[in-house]
Structure 1
Amino acid sequence: MGDEADLNKERLELVLEAAGLDLWENDLVSGQVTHKASKTFEELGFTQDEIVTGVQDIFGLFHPGDLDKVKQAVADHVAGITPQYRAEFRLRSKAGEWIWFANYGRIMDRSSATPGKRLIGVTFNIHDRKQKEDEIAQINQQLLEQNKLLQELNTALELLAANDSLTGLANRRTLMELGANECKRTERFDHPLSLLVVDIDLFKTVNDAWGHLAGDRVICAVAQACAARKRSGVDIVARFGGEEFVIVLPETDGVSALRVAESLRHDVAALSVPVNEQGASASVTVSIGVATMHKGSGIGFEELVNRADKALYRAKGTGRNAVYCADVQQGGAPAVHVLIEPDEDADADGVVTA
């Protein structure tokens, strides 16, 4: 009988060794460790003598962040809350490194009549697995950060693709796309759609006198004046090219568009734009062409822009610093109006009907 017990013990030790498991046993009544996890101490770099004489309490080797979790897992099993005791934790090696281990155990002599006093379990090294988990977590975190950066870059690229790099206004491509949609809305809902083409008068003289950097400052100042008239979420303000801008005014008739254009003309004329570090400034004026379409006009957005552009050249032909309107009525027939500085030939609003 004794030989069979010894054989079974040897078999158990072989299985535990092959599986990398270290058997331990605690007496829950006395609190004594009746079978110490010697293999675990050896893995941590301690000799057998050190295990016997120097390392009496394995809890002294636990990582401070793990100890309470291990004790709670033991308490939950002892109280019958969990069917087994399971815990993962870090132990400090003799060299001072933190090594990951796991425990699995169970109270072996528990019955309905007795609470059980022997907690038996195994300890095994899970350091490689934890390192791989940490590596995967780091990779996932890097992927999250890279995806966030990629989204930010995509947003920035979309913004660059849709906006003029100098002024920040919508660019020509965006203008044509959004403008075409507004034309469809005009046909669908029977709302007027007005458009302003704004051009800086004699802009070449600014570049010739002060240089292209000064010219860029003037362009940006006029762009800001145009953008200041924008109704958020309604109007479209775009740089059409060079020193030319387009303002799209949905649900705006010709008379209202003329008021916007004239107000903008006055605001630009009042600008004083710094052009160098010595405090010099430049003043410019703009000429503006206005066109309005209604449902049934039979024209598209490109044609509306063309008509406003032709009106712009008529405004420049009056001597510049002027507004000219070609109001597109049903059937496409234009009615023209010129808005100039008030004089003896103009009415109180400075509007002359041609």
Structure 2
Amino acid sequence: MGEVDLNKERLELALEAAGLDLWENDLITGNVTRKATKTFEELGFTEDEIVSGVQDIYGLFHPDDIDTVRKAVADHLTGVTPQYRCEFRLRSKSGEWVWFANYGRIMDGHSATPGKRLIGVTFNIHDRKCRETEIAQINQQLTEQNRLLQQLNTALERLAANDSLTGLSNRRTLMELGAKEYKRTERFGHPLSLLVVDIDLFKAVNDAYGHLAGDRVICAVAQACAARKRSGVDIVARFGGEEFVIVLPETDGPSALRVAETLRQDVEALRVAVGDAGKDVAVTVSIGVATLHKGSGLDFEELVNRADKALYQAKGTGRNAVYVADAQPDDGGMAAPTQLDLGGGI
């Protein structure tokens, strides 16, 4: 056996061990001088079918891959890329799509002479592609699950921060946000006002019409409070039961008093449906107002307590009233007689 034959056998053994199928094209004549026979066999074609039936390799390419393959070949032939590399799908005899890859180069080329042969190898990458697809699907599922988890977390955070009946901020959120506003007041020297709003004689509503009617009244007053809110500035919260708190940053005492009085009038004008027969009820609120200035020595919780005390002073005047904490008779205390006396409660 000559050295050439021995080297050929060595090459064949190396290609077989590596799972590579050698092919060769004559770039001058355009003929295929060595077919990728093993690849066709792997696709299920017989030797006779390879010789007679499988003439145009491009007829086996997946339609989505043909342009990619043609471009990869053209880029190498024109010197854009130093090697020809491409991944593609071929249709097996049974109709399944199998992933393969090509690696090749122009040979017999010299500095002034273009190459005459395009030689390369084809090898099966189907298992790798399937794993990549599986991993991509898993990653997509994880991305979707993370998105859903984020949505659930956001919903849970919203539920934890808001009152379930009215949708307003709850007491915990109020105290957290209020503490931040207190710090801003101390830092920038802006006034911070606060209203504590309580529905007058609410127990009588529950006793006369039931708790569902009471819930409707609470929601109606909550909406009236929220309507007075400056978006992105004020904080409106259900403090507990039939009591609400409105935090008014950068708002002085007279301005807060005007907000409170307008709110009192708005609620006084409400008519809340409490039955299927078109029955409705009118309610009123009493409001305590307190204002915090830089250097006052009060914290946010103490501000709430001052407004709460003012609220009970408003209740003591006959309800349906607004009262300012520490107000003098001529500079802020306001009262109006109640418009509805259902009896009982405060």
Fold-level similarity (TM above 0.5):
yes
Change (3 A) 1:132 1:277: farther
Deviation at 1:276, TM superposition (A): 4.1
* Equivalent position amino acid for 1:61 in 2: L
Tell me, yes or no, if structure 1 residue 206 matches structure 2 residue 201: no
Tell me, yes or no, if structure 1 residue 340 matches structure 2 residue 335: yes
Change (3 A) 1:270 1:313: same
Question: What secondary structure does 2:65 align onto?
Answer: helix
* Equivalent position amino acid for 1:341 in 2: A
Q: Which residue of 1 aligns with 2:341?
A: none
* Equivalent position amino acid for 2:297 in 1: G
- Aligned pairs for 1:1-354 (under 5 A) are 3-327=2-326, 337-341=332-336
Question: What secondary structure does 2:180 align onto?
Answer: helix
Instruction: Name whichever of 181-190 and 13-22 sits farther off.
Output: 181-190
Deviation at 1:277, TM superposition (A): 4.4
Contact 2:318 2:336 in 1 (8 A): no
Distance in 1 (CA, whole Å) between partners of 2:235 and 2:275 is: 31
Question: What secondary structure does 1:124 align onto?
Answer: strand
**Uncovered stretches (5+) of structure 2, i.e. residues with no partner:** 338-346
Instruction: Name whichever of 288-297 and 232-241 sits farther off.
Output: 288-297
Distance in 1 (CA, whole Å) between partners of 2:57 and 2:50 is: 10
Q: List per-residue Cα deviations over 1:258-293 (Å, max 9, x = no partner).
A: 211111011011112233444333321111111223
% identity of equivalent residues = 81
Output the TM-score relative to the length of structure 1.
Answer: 0.89
Q: List per-residue Cα deviations over 1:108-142 (Å, max 9, x = no partner).
A: 11122322221111100000111111112112222
Q: Say how many residue pairs are matched.
A: 338
Question: What secondary structure does 2:333 align onto?
Answer: strand
Deviation at 1:166, TM superposition (A): 1.7
Instruction: Name whichever of 127-136 and 164-173 sits farther off.
Output: 164-173
Question: What secondary structure does 2:123 align onto?
Answer: strand
Contact 1:327 1:336 in 2 (8 A): no
Deviation at 1:204, TM superposition (A): 2.0
Distance in 2 (CA, whole Å) between partners of 1:24 and 1:63 is: 20
Contact 2:257 2:332 in 1 (8 A): no
Q: List per-residue Cα deviations over 1:142-161 (Å, max 9, x = no partner).
A: 22222222222222222222
Q: Which residue of 1 aligns with 2:344?
A: none
**Uncovered stretches (5+) of structure 1, i.e. residues with no partner:** 343-354
Question: What secondary structure does 1:340 align onto?
Answer: coil
* Equivalent position amino acid for 1:218 in 2: V
